[in-house]
Amino acid sequence: MTKTAPLKLGLIGDNIARSRSPLLHRLAGGQNGVEVTYDRLVPKDMGLSFDEVFDSCAGQGYRGTNVTYPYKEIAAAKVEVDDPLVRAVGAVNTVIFGGETPKGFNTDYSGFMSAYRSVMGDKPTGTVLMIGTGGVGRAVAFGLAGLGARTLRLVDRDPAKAEALAEALHSVAPDMEISIWLSAEKAAQGSAGIINCTPVGMVGYEGTPLAAEAMQGAAWAFDAVYTPTNTQFLQDARAAGLKVISGWELYFYQGVHAWSLFSGLGLDEAKLRADLLEMGDAE
pLDDT of residue 18: 85
| Banded model confidence at residue 282, pLDDT cuts 50, 70, 90 | very low
pLDDT of residue 1: 41
Q: What is the mean pLDDT of residues 30-54?
A: 97
* CB 127, CB 154: distance < 8 Å: no
Domain ranges for the chain, please list them: 4-106+249-278, 109-247
Domain 109-247 coded CATH 3.40.50.720: yes
pLDDT of residue 281: 52
pLDDT of residue 226: 85
Domain 4-106+249-278 fold is Rossmann fold (3.40.50)
Q: How far is CA 262 from CA 97, 249, 266, in A?
A: 9, 20, 11
DSSP-derived secondary structure for 225-282: --SSSS-HHHHHHHHTT-EEE-HHHHHHHHHHHHHHHHH-----HHHHHHHHHHTT--
Calculate what percentage of the chain has a pLDDT beyond 70.
98
Provide the edge-to-edge strand list for the sheet that holds 103-105. 34-41, 4-12, 64-67, 94-96, 103-105
Q: Rounded to 5 degrees, what angle do the CA atoms 259, 93, 167 make?
A: 135
Q: What is the mean pLDDT of residues 149-160?
A: 97
Whether the per-residue pLDDT at 262 is higher than 90: the answer is: yes
pLDDT digits (tens, 9 = 90+) for 15-25: 899 889 999 99
pLDDT digits (tens, 9 = 90+) for 83-102: 988 999 999 999 999 989 99
pLDDT of residue 229: 87
pTM value is 0.91
Residues labelled catalytic: 71
* CB 114, CB 248: distance < 8 Å: no
At 195, which helix (H) or strand (E)? Answer: strand 193-196
* CB 108, CB 139: distance < 8 Å: yes
Q: What is the mean pLDDT of residues 113-122?
A: 97
pLDDT of residue 204: 83
Intrachain domains 4-106+249-278 and 109-247 with the same fold? yes
pLDDT digits (tens, 9 = 90+) for 212-239: 999 999 999 999 998 888 999 999 999 9
